[in-house]
A and B are shown apart, each in its own frame.
Chain A
Amino acid sequence: MTDDLVARLLEGDKRALSRVLSFVENGRPEGRAAMKALFGRTGHAHIVGITGPTGSGKSTLVGALAREYRSRGRTLGIVAVDPTSPFSRGAVLGDRIRMQELTSDPGVFIRSMATRGALGGLAPATNDVVTVLDAAHKDVIIVETVGAGQDEVEVADTAHTTIVISVPGAGDEVQAIKAGILEIADILVVNKSDQPRADITAQQLHAYLNLGREEGWEVPIIKTVAIRAQGIEELADAIDRHRGFLESSGRLEEARRQRARRQLLALAQEELLARVLATLATAEGNGRLEALVEAIARREMDPHTAAERLIEAAG
């Protein structure tokens, strides 16, 4: 069944793409099989991450940027992440509201995801969902994070080009996007720049950037009014320039290798955990676990040694 879905996905069938994305998002074996089959088809898309504080206009900017790309003839995948409620484990995914008119464009595929408890600003399966969209021939994939404060920097591992949005008046010293999140920016955007103090915000960002920057790439600060599509052409140009820089400087290759390493280790970790948990699922395994728990609780064995025993038993 997965073979058929994968074949249809590669032919451009949106129903098949949508189903595969669900399998991947929900951690199903069909998703894993599809990922294996699709891997050889990936590597074409440019992945753009967009992050910034709640209310900075991320979704509106994503919509405006997507329209700009469409006018340049490029196809798009958009992954919009919203937070899962820590209490109910449910979520309201509302990013589409700001880009719904793109829904009717056959060159755009939008998927909303919930964080499902992940803390880095993305959903746990975001990377896999991006990979599948890449295999589905999208030229550009935009990943929009949850409203991020200072520490939600995971998007920089996913994206080739990371855009950090700030807004005027967010705090005299750009409080909303201090260290952490500013450091991951390849491009800085001051959105809502028709508001007073936009220039001051831009200047402050400029001063911040002068404190230290990556070699060979000068982080541009772009003023936009996303709701009126102002500054969006300039932003799209800057993203293309960054892509060119990544290619000519060898950073793209380097980033690919780093991503491959991270992914491999993460998957190995997952697989190892699954194997350990499988050995504990039997009555004998469960007994062994309980015995170790008891030993730690009585302080007869330290937790590190106990963990080593657990893994040895899993082979």
Chain B
Amino acid sequence: MAEEHKIKVIIAKPGLDGHDRGAKVVARALRDAGMEVVYTGIRQTPEMIAETALQEDADAVGLSILSGAHLELFPRVVEELQKRGMEDVVLFGGGIIPHEDLPKLEKLGFKGIFGPGASTLDIVEWVRKNAPDRGAASRS
């Protein structure tokens, strides 16, 4: 079989808010950019998100949250990913996230945070630039 690697992204909604329009729009934009996107649906626990990233061998995980619980839930997702040896997965997030929280999230590893009004093109570009190039070097 010919070698073919596609960027694989998990789009997940942690916590209890059920507003998944944004997550679906981003999932679709990434698909339209040629990526393979696993959409988990709403109300995911940090454990479920990390386990999904593990089983799917994701390159990137994007979290969408509108409940305001990002400072509680994002660190727990990171913790669950680390437990599974997935610390090299690229993290990004979106939703209603106040500006003053950005440094805290960046310290956790969320280098890309996209709020309301962010363009899907920017998100696609960001993922493309930040996802590890696994066509060349392999990791284990």
Contacts and interface: CB of A to CB of B under 8 A. Distances in A.
Interface of A: 1, 4-5, 14-16, 18-19, 21-23, 26-28, 30, 84-85, 87-94, 96-97, 100-101, 103-104, 109-112, 114, 116, 124-125, 270
A92 B1 contact: no
Given A14-B84, A104-B51, A90 B34 contact: yes
24 contacts: A1-B140, A14-B54, A15-B54, A15-B85, A16-B140, A18-B55, A18-B56, A19-B140, A26-B3, A26-B5, A84-B36, A90-B6, A90-B37, A91-B36, A94-B39, A96-B41, A97-B40, A97-B41, A103-B51, A104-B51, A109-B55, A112-B56, A116-B4, A125-B1
Of B1, B4, B28, B30, most buried by chain A (CB within 10 Å of CB) is B1
Contact of A91 (B2, B31, B139): B31
Nearest to B139: A19
A307 B49 CA distance: 51
Contacts of A14: 54-55, 84
Interface residues of chain A: helix, strand, loop or mixed (majority): mixed
A5 B33 CA distance: 31
B2 A27 contact: yes
A19 to B, nearest CB: 6
A3 B52 CA distance: 25
Contact of B31 (A16, A19, A22, A88): A88
Interface of B: 1-6, 27-28, 30-41, 44-45, 47-48, 51-52, 54-57, 84-86, 134, 138-140
Interface centre among A27, A85, A100, A124 (most CB of B within 10 A): A100
B23 to A, nearest CB: 11
Contacts of B54: 14-15, 18
B49 to A, nearest CB: 9
A132 B57 CA distance: 15
B8 to A, nearest CB: 8
